[in-house]
Structure formats: C-alpha cells, structure tokens
Structure 1
Amino acid sequence: MKKLTVIILLLCTLILIEKKSYAGTITLQGTIGKIPIVMELNIDPVSASGTYFYKKLKQDIAFEGTAASNNLSLKSESTGDKFELTRNGHTLNGTYTNKKGTKLPVRLNDVEPNSVKLLFVNETLSKTLSDYSKLRLNEIKLIPGKQELLNQKYLIQWYSEPNSKINVFKIISGYPQPIINTINDQLYNEYYQNFEAYFSCSDMDGNAGYEQIEITSCFLNEQFVSICISSGWYCHPAAHPDFGESGITFNTKTGKKLELEDILWFGTGAKPKKESDEWFSYRSKTYAPQIVKLFKRLYPTEMIKPQTEENCDYTDSEVWDFGSWYFTQKGLYVGAYFARVARSCDNPGWSIIPFSELKKMKQANHTLTF
C-alpha cells in the first residue's frame, strides 16, 4: 500500500511538472504553410491567449482560446484566423484555417528564453525588449531616402520603414564623430520603440492601429539636437482613439539626453530626481505656475481666461505641468496637456519661449548657451 502511494505521488508530481512546463509565456517561431511567423503564447491550464505576426508584415494579430493537455484551440476575433495545435516536445504542430476556410499546416518551435539578440547593437533597447519583440525588430529594413542639410552645417540621412511608412533620420556630419555615434544610438533607441509600438497596436480588423508616427519637428544647432515625434492611434480593444507628441533633446557637447530641468529651472537648490515625489511637486507647484506667468507676459491674447468651459483655458497651470517640450528654430516649445474631453486644446502652436527670452532667464545649466 505504501509503495502504491509513493507511485501515485510520483505520477502526480510528473503531471504537475508537465503542466507547469507549458504554462506561462512562451515565444515560438516557425511557419504557416511556407510563410514565416513569430508567436507569443500566454498559457494557463485551461486557456491561452497571445499574438502572432508574419515576419514580412510584422503587424500583431491577437488571438485567444482554450488549452487542454497538449492541445490548443485558438481564434483571432479580428481576422477570423483559427489554429488547432498540439504540443510535441519543443514544437507545436497543427493546422491554420483562415476565414475563407483555407487550411495550411503549422509548425512552430520554442524559442529559448533570452536567446534572441538584436542584429544591431543597442544595449539600452535590448534590455527592455522581449524575445518576441526582438524577433520582430530584427526584421526591420530601413530604406535610405534623401539627405538634408540643416542650418547650413548639419547633414542628416532620412530612411523609411516600408510597412509602417515611418520616416526617421540619422546624423551624418556636423558634430564630432563620437558625439554623432552617441546621439544616433539614442535616436535609434527611440525610433525602434516607436516601430514596436506601431506593430504591436492593431485595430479591430487586425490592421495597423496607428494612423501616424511622424517626426514633426527636427532642430539641430551647435548646442542641441531636438526632435518631436507626433502619434495618433486606436488600438483594439481601447474605447477611444488617442494622440500625443513627445520630444527628445540632446546636448551636442556631451551626447547626453537632456531633461527639461537642464534647460529651464524655476526652483532653488538641487534639482529633484525625475519622477520622484519632489519632482512631481516641483512641476505642479513651481514650474507650471511660472510657465503660466511667463506666457501671460509673452502671449497676453492667447492667455486670456475663457468665459466658458467649452474653450481652451491655458491659464490653468495644471495643463502645463507635464507637457511635451523640444527646441525649434524659434526657441523652446512647451506643450500643454488637457483631459480627454478637451484634448483638442493640447499643444497649441504658439507656446514657444523665444531664444532671446531664454538668454534673459536664469540658466538651469551654465554649460548651455542659447
């Protein structure tokens, strides 16, 4: 009897180990028919969900379904694609059926966790990405376009990603080569995060959910490289579309990314660490009210308090505390950010602090010149 009990316990343990080995998140790659795909699966004992993409197209297609023993039954709500798959060791084999009824064989192999390396060297980006994302970004092919000379000195090369139609650039000349390399690496970190955002966002039909990812401002001078990336998206199953912009600015003397407090500082003493309690307090209680005061002087017409709530109220300091910022030919652009019901008020075109004004103000960083 004791021997039988031990055998039963061993069998139960083996079953639990077997089930556990297939639980959690796994990455696979293989083919539907002859078409290469990558899949990410989240599996528990009774259900499964995840996404997959065709390597050529790169766009995520979401699915969900059931898991029973070694069998998976999956369906994409957006495309109607179906998978019937069976686990056999480190492979998943089975059948794919599209919404027209066409059937194709599927063969997928497990990807060893943390085994995927980016084909381009970017340690900062690599640390933030899953194997699934790395396999996608390794398929990115940038097509060179025109070259452009900015401020009669700084040469940049534009590139286009064919599937997303996103255009990006890298610096060719105008700064010392080590600075160019450092800034380009950080720019590409930003670009590839945007590529990943684009391809991982799908609409309810399984197509790209992004309407726009575009570099809408690009400023290079002796002191700064500064860009603005504008985006608009509607990712299923989100309730509403959304849009926004983000700026990124570099010091061309050091190659380091700058924070707004490096440029514009209304506080006293040491600057708080970004996203610390002190930083949030400074932005809300000191920085934003000072921006309102400054813009009331620079733009008195635009800063008149509206008579109704239907109009944009730029006198409210809360809309300025965490907005985007970047340099343009005219000066430092500082954006506003409103609640969803008033998002059309975001980022007015006029909210620029001219270089002449920046020169008059207390310098946040005495190594920077305007």
Structure 2
Amino acid sequence: MNRQHVFGCTAALLGALASPAHAVPQLLQGQIGGAAVVMELNVAQDGKTDGRYFYRKYHRDIALDGQRGTDGSVALGENLGYNESRTDLTLRPDGKGGWKGVWRGKKGSAQTVTLSPLAVTSLPTSDIASLAKLRQQHPYEFSRLADLTLQQGNLQHFGRYTLRWWKEPISKVRFFRVVDGYPAAVQDRVNRVLESRQWEEVNGYFGCALGGAHRGEFEYDQTVTPRYLTDRVLSASVFTSYDCGGAHPDFGDQPINLDVQTGHQLQLEDVLWLGQGAPNIPRDADGYPQNYDYQNKVLGPWLAKTLLQLYPKLMAPKDKDDDCDYRSSGLWALPSWYLLPQGLYLGPSFPRVARACEYPEWSILPWKLVKQHRGDPGLSLP
C-alpha cells in the first residue's frame, strides 16, 4: 500500500491538469458579484473544461466541470454529482487573457463575473519549505493557503521537553512546536520542519474537501501524537482518517522521524539496517527508494521472522475466521514506523480487505535488538 499522504481524489485532479490534452492551467483572480475569488481553469483541446475556485473569504474549493462552446465561451457546473448536468457559470474570453461572464445560483439569481490573470510573481513569498514548494509547483493551492493563520493552543510537557500546540482553524489540523528542551538553534531547526509539515497537512485537508465536493460531503480527522524526543531524535505519529469521495474511506499513519541535529527526515535504515556495510539504498530527490530489493528480499523476511520469535502468539491468527495473520514477509516490507521509549514500532501493510489488522500495539522491536543492527552509528539510541 502506498502510504504517501496524497488522496486519490486530489491525485486524479492533478493528473488531469498534467494531461497533454490540457494547456497549462490558467490562474485567475477576480470577483463573482462583490466577492473576491481565485480560479484555476483548464480548457482541453477537445473543449472539455474543468477547474476549481475558492472565495477568498472561505478558502474551500468549488469543483468546476463543463465544455467550451463553438463561440469560445465555456459553460461550467459546480460540484456536479455523478451524471449530473447543470450550468452555474458561463464565461467568455475578454480579449485580455481573462474572462467575463455570469454566475447563476440555484434560485436563478445572477452575479457578474470578472476574472483576470494572476501572475505567480505577484504572489507573496514564503520561507516555509512546503509553502515555497507549493508557490512554485501549485500556485493556486498556495493562494488558497497564503492568508490563513495559525492559532496558538495549549502547552504540553513531554519528559524534559515543553511543546506548544498550534491549530489552523478551518481544517482544524493541529501540530506541536518544541518551545523548551533544545538549544535555540536546534529548536528553531526542528520547529521549521514541524511548521512546514503542518501546512502540508492543511493542504491535504483542502485536497480531501475538493475530492468530496461532487457528493457534497467529506470526512477528515487527524491526530498528531508525540512519541519520542531525545537530544538526537524526534518522533511523532500523524494518523489520518479520511473519506474524500473515493470508493472507500481510508486511514493511515505517516510519522515524522527527525534527526534534530540536521533537521533531516530519518530513513528506517538509519535506525535499523540489515544489509552489508553502511546503508546504501539509492533514493530519488523525494526520498523514495529507486528499487525495493532490500525491502522485499531482506527487510520484510527478517522482520517477519524476528517478530514471530518475539511475539509467536500475536503474530498468528487467533482462529480460522481471523484475517490478522502477520506471518507473511510481504506485510513487513514497507512498514510505517516511529520510535518509542521501549523500542522501534513497526506497522505492517495489509490488503484493503484486512486493513483493520494494521497498527497493532505490540509490534515493537526492543532497543537492545535494534542496536545490534544500527544503521547510523552516530545516532544515539537508548
């Protein structure tokens, strides 16, 4: 299972935007009636038109689907359901790179629409890594987030560290920052990573909302749990349950595991390495393995064997009707993982029919065993 936190609904949309049948998405800003909006519009060579827009006051995407007419105008429906056909918005080119038209509500009320190109260079810059990347790659999504702010929440004491929680009020995505326990430079480095990740998750919320727009509802619930903090590592789980308009609801944990001295995301082989010599898994620019030979041939079989030795009763199904059989090596080839005071937690990946078997509480490798297979000798472990 691919645990990357990209919802199928959003991925499908971005795939459409990248399709050769579409021109470069047009980024627009303007007004519908007296309300400020930002729109992304895609008109394909065959005239099929889609896109999305949001009111600056509300930030929630409205999906657009329609067709270009022979006169160059486009007729668009908003948040159309399956096999639904309706025109809510009619736009005509204004000869200056923008559009003019009319929006009609369900009760027949009409509002004038004016849209002009929104240059990426006019957007504010950001020193938050995830927002800076969005500004470059998906400026529409950056525009949707640019004027949102975080609300300060409660303090939490976690061992010798003090955490401050922050919430984005629309998505309700909550993340912590470390406000005491690290030297100032380390603390700043860690908090910049945590802030960047929080905005990634906020953007994930809006992507999920767009996916559910066609049926008028969606669900998105996220819990961030600090798991382990030391002077060298920070580990936290980021567990999300979501229903974004796809065939099925889904859930997943995509933990944060940081080397606090560098601010870099740790790879599992930094903590647990079963290969020869130093860890040498080739990865792409986004940190994903270029092949999975090590995971499939070494990691998965070793974990299945070792966990069976540690937890023989828990690894086997309780009875013939129990789908939770953890003994297959394939379940452990691409585990989710984070660090705990007692050891390395590993979560298996099951097929959808048995997803309820994922994230057992017991699947922990004790530190004593992990240290025998340490990937980074400089990574201090208990």
TM range (shorter): 0.7 to 0.9
One-letter amino acid matched to 2:115: L
Displacement of 1:293 in angstroms is 1.8
How far the C-alpha of 1:205 sits from its partner, in A, is 5.2
The corresponding residue for 1:49 is: 50
More contact order relative to length (CA 8 Å, sep ≥ 6): 2
The residue that corresponds to 1:111 in the other structure is 118
1:226 positional shift: 1.0
Distance of 2:25 and 2:92 partners within structure 1: 17
Is contact 1:338-1:345 (8 Å) kept?
yes
CA contact (8 A) 2:129 2:196 kept: no
Deviates more, 1:213-222 or 1:72-81: 72-81
Query: Which residue, 201, 215, 221 being the options, matches 1:212?
Result: 221
Distance 1:208 1:251 in 2: 39
Residue of structure 1 equivalent to 2:375:
364
The structural deviation recorded for 1:101 is: 2.8
Give, as a single letter, the amino acid of the residue that structure 1 aligns with 2:379: L
**CA distance in 2 between partners of 1:280 and 1:113 (Å):** 38
Cα deviations across residues 109-145 of structure 1 (Å, max 9, x unaligned)?
2112455344x31345423541101101202211101
Q: Deviations over 1:148-205 (max 9, x none)?
A: 2211x22221111111111112222211222222222222222212111110223155
Alignment of 1:66 with 2:67, yes or no, is yes
Q: Distance in 1 between matches of 2:156 and 2:87?
A: 44
What residue is the counterpart of 2:234 in the other structure? Answer: 225
In 2, Cα distance between the equivalents of 1:161 and 1:351?
A: 33
2:173 maps to 1:166? yes
Aligned residue among 74, 77, 98 for 1:75: 77
Give the letter aligned to residue 224 of structure 2: I
- 1:256 deviation in Å? 2.1
Q: 1:85 aligns with which of 91, 96, 99?
A: 91
Matched with 1:141 is 149
Shift in Å, 1:309? 6.7
Letter in 2 for 1:232: S
Q: Is the 8 A contact 2:90 2:102 kept in 1?
A: yes
Q: Which has the larger radius of gyration?
A: 1
User: Bigger shift: 95-104 or 280-289?
Assistant: 95-104
Residues 1:303 and 2:322 aligned together: no
**What's 1:260 paired with?**
268
Out of 336, 339, 351, the position equivalent to 1:324 is: 336
Partners in 1 of 2:180 and 2:27 — Cα distance? Answer: 40
Question: What's the secondary structure of 2:67's corresponding residue?
Answer: strand
- Alignment TM-score, normalising by the size of structure 2: 0.83
SS class of match (1:222): coil
Change (3 A) 1:336 1:100: farther
Say how many residue pairs are matched.
Answer: 344
Q: Distance in 2 between matches of 1:181 and 1:208?
A: 38
**CA RMSD in angstroms, aligned pairs only:** 2.3
Q: Which residue of 1 aligns with 2:355?
A: 343
For structure 2, list consecutive stretches of 5 or more residues without a partner in the other structure: 1-21
Say yes or no: does 1:193 pair with 2:204: no
* Equivalent residue, structure 2, for 1:24: 24
Deviation string, structure 1 residues 271-298 (Cα, Å, up to 9, x no partner): 2123445x51101111111111221122
Structure 2 distance, partners of 1:102, 1:369, is 66
Any unmatched runs of 5+ in structure 1? 1-21
Relative to structure 1, the CA distance from residue 215 to residue 207 in structure 2 (aligned partners, 3 Å threshold; closer, same or farther) is farther
Deviating more after overlay: 127-136 vs 70-79? 70-79
Deviates more, 1:256-265 or 1:329-338: 329-338
